[in-house]
């Protein structure tokens, strides 16, 4: 999954897009993965087990779980194909911006 995430970050570098990761692996494994996979996005450690506080709060029941949020923090897609969901959201946000500009 990391190579795909890296390519998505590169492809969308000039767009309103960011990846945030939550990792339930032991902390040392996370540190190694960040270095080995050249992760440039923020990734939080969730206590080293799949029932950590973040996973519990967000009702994560399997890994990976993908949420796509908009710029307001609203969950727009869950468990969707990541590229498709992000591209669709960016188009929706562009349309919303055009509508908002038309109201001015």
pLDDT digits (tens, 9 = 90+) for 15-33: 888 888 889 999 999 899 9
Task: Classify domain 2-89 at the CATH topology level.
Answer: Glutaredoxin (3.40.30)
The backbone torsions φ and ψ at residue 11, rounded to the nearest 5 degrees and listed phi first, read -65, -35
Higher pLDDT, 67 or 104: 67
- What pLDDT digit, counting tens, does each position of 68-99 carry? 888 888 888 888 888 998 999 999 999 988 88
- How many angstroms separate the Cα of 15 from the Cα of each of 23, 45, 82, 94? 25, 26, 15, 11
Average pLDDT, the chain: 89
Q: What is the dihedral of CA 7, 9, 10, 16, to 10 degrees?
A: 140
For 77-100, letters b (16+ CB in 10 Å) and e give beeeebeebbeebeeebeeeeeee
Q: What is the DSSP letter of 17?
A: -
pLDDT of residue 14: 87
**Beta carbons of 47 and 24 less than 8 angstroms apart:** yes
């Amino acid at each position: 999954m990391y190579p795909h995430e890296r390519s998505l970050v590169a492809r969308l570098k000039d767009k309103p897009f960011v990846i945030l990761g939550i990792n339930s692996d032991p902390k040392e494994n996370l540190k190694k993965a960040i270095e080995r996979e050249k992760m440039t996005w923020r990734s939080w450690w969730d206590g080293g087990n799949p029932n950590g506080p973040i996973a519990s709060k967000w009702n994560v029941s399997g890994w990976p779980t993908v949420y796509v949020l908009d710029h307001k923090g609203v969950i727009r897609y869950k468990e969707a194909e990541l590229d498709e969901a992000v591209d669709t959201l960016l188009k929706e946000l562009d349309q919303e911006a055009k509508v908002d500009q038309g109201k001015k």
